Amino acid sequence: MTSHQSPTTFAHMDAGTVALVLAGLVLAATGLGVLHRATQGRARTVADSRTVSIAGVALGDRATLLQFSTEVCAPCKATARVLDDVAARTPDVAHVDLDVTHRPELASRYRVLQTPTTLILDRDGVVRARIGGAVRRDVVVAELEKVLAA
Amino acid sequence: MTAPHASSTAAPALRTGIDPRGPRFTAGVTAVLFLVVIALALLGLDTAALALAIVNALVFLWAAIAGVQRHPYGVFFRRVVRPRLAPPAELEDPVPPTFAQGVGLFVTVLGIALFFVVGPIALVVAGAAAFVAAFLNAVFAYCLGCQIYLLLARAGILGKRGATAA
């Protein structure tokens, strides 16, 4: 083992130790990926209900799917397609896709830490649910039904 | 080297869609190469580790400037791998993976610069960071570039209206 390290140089590791370090790194990265995947697309019901009002954004009469995107974001496009389709199939529900690339103050105000982030708003523009990452259609539809039934 | 904000000025001709599996294949090759950098540095083969880190940086630099469509591993994917696969379900905008190449360049150059200050540990740390990003991209299709771009935009560093207008 490498117990004789100085601050600037390693005591050189043997091949077996190096293989262990690399395996540990691959394992750690896999853990991160699994953890991240588990949080993606999951809806969180929002407790502190805030009303969304953004200049120039028209909300739906019964509910709004408010998506925050950036220019440099491939999953945002897939999410936009799903939300567009859900909104088109549900009367009086609007899909709004906001690009926060040029409006960072919106990302700060609505605490957007990743794109896409989707907020589901009720008829009064109150945030009811929040979905981080690429959305899954069944999750969106289920959350939207809860909001519409309320 | 500066922060990779120049990639947003990609020419309109580059805006045609690409097979999303191309950048993931590229990231897979990149991840393996960074594991080799780390292994060489840990084994005490500093010169070899530094040389491979520089090669990785040059590939990042080329892809960040020329666009991910001209990435050498991407070209290999298109010519050799893709013809053996079924067509992709959908195409992807090449701008995000090109931005990610710039992020990779930034991390790698930082590691190379710090190598001359603190020694091979810099290549191990920067290599590990680059490996994790590339691995997540290859295996989980996780878009680190999106997150970094958003954080930079929130901090007011990127994305100012007209800041990159030609």
pLDDT at B61: 96
- DSSP for A48-68 reads S--B---TT-PPPSSEEEEEE
Does A81 score more than 90 pLDDT? yes
- Asked if A2 and A66 sit in the same domain, the reply is no
Chain A: closest CA distance from residue B114 (Å): 11
pLDDT at B100: 86
- Asked if A30 and A57 sit in the same domain, the reply is no
Interface test with A, best of B68, B146, B161 (most A CBs within 10 A): B146
- Please answer yes or no on whether B150 and A107 come within 8 Å at the CB atom: yes
Tens-digit pLDDT profile for chain B (166 aa)?
434 443 344 344 345 788 888 889 999 999 999 999 999 999 999 999 999 999 999 999 999 999 888 999 999 999 999 989 888 877 777 877 888 899 999 999 999 999 999 999 999 999 999 999 999 999 998 868 667 777 777 777 665 443 343 3
Q: How far separated are the first and last CA of chain B, in Å rounded?
A: 21
Does A103 score more than 80 pLDDT? yes
Distances (CA, A) of B68 to B24, B74, B150: 11, 7, 20
- Asked if A22 and A94 sit in the same domain, the reply is no
pLDDT at B146: 61
pLDDT at A27: 96
CATH of the domain at A93: 3.40.30.10
Residues 6+ away with beta carbon under 8 Å from B79: none
Q: Which two tokens stand for residue A129?
A: 């649910």
Angle between helices A15-39 and B21-42 (to 10 degrees): 150
- Asked if A69 and A142 sit in the same domain, the reply is yes
- DSSP for B27-93 reads HHHHHHHHHHHHHHHHTT-HHHHHHHHHHHHHHHHHHHHH-GGG-HHHHHIIIIIGGGSPPPSS-B-
Using a CB–CB cutoff of 8 Å, tell me whether A6 touches chain B.
no
Using a CB–CB cutoff of 8 Å, tell me whether A23 touches chain B.
no
- Picking from A8-17, A131-140, B15-24, B124-133, which range would have the lowest pLDDT averaged per residue? A8-17
Mean pLDDT across A18-27: 95
- Picking from A5-19, A67-81, A99-113, which range would have the lowest pLDDT averaged per residue? A5-19
- Please answer yes or no on whether A18 and B39 come within 8 Å at the CB atom: yes
B141 Ramachandran zone, left/alpha/beta (phi>0; psi -120 to 50): left
Q: Select the more confidently predicted residue: B142 or A148.
A: A148
- Asked if A27 and A52 sit in the same domain, the reply is no
- Asked if A15 and A67 sit in the same domain, the reply is no
Compute the mean pLDDT over every residue in chain A, rounded to the nearest whole number. 86
Instruction: Sketch the domain layout of chain B as residue ranges.
Output: 15-154
Domain containing A4 equals 1-39
d(CA B30, CA A67): 32
Using a CB–CB cutoff of 8 Å, tell me whether A77 touches chain B.
yes
Strand A63-69 and strand A93-99: the pairing is parallel
- Asked if A5 and A48 sit in the same domain, the reply is no
- Asked if A20 and A65 sit in the same domain, the reply is no
Closest chain A residue by Cα to residue B18: A74
pLDDT at A48: 65
Instruction: Report chain A residues whose CB lies below 8 A from the CB of B128.
Output: 25
Chain B: closest CA distance from residue A105 (Å): 7
- Asked if A54 and A90 sit in the same domain, the reply is yes
Q: Select the more confidently predicted residue: B6 or A140.
A: A140
- Asked if A31 and A48 sit in the same domain, the reply is no
Q: Which of A141, A121, A122, A120 is nearest to A131 (CA)?
A: A120
Mean pLDDT across A61-87: 89
pLDDT at A45: 81
Does A140 score more than 80 pLDDT? yes
- Asked if A69 and A27 sit in the same domain, the reply is no
Closest Cβ–Cβ partner in B92, B119, B136 for A8: B119
Using a CB–CB cutoff of 8 Å, tell me whether B65 touches chain A.
no
User: How many domains are contained in chain A?
Assistant: 2
- Asked if A99 and A48 sit in the same domain, the reply is yes
Closest Cβ–Cβ partner in B35, B136, B146 for A73: B146
Q: One-letter amino acid identity for B49?
A: A
Secondary structure of residue A76 in the 3-state scheme: helix
Closest Cβ–Cβ partner in B38, B119, B161 for A102: B161
- Please answer yes or no on whether B43 and A102 come within 8 Å at the CB atom: no
Chain A: closest CA distance from residue B134 (Å): 10
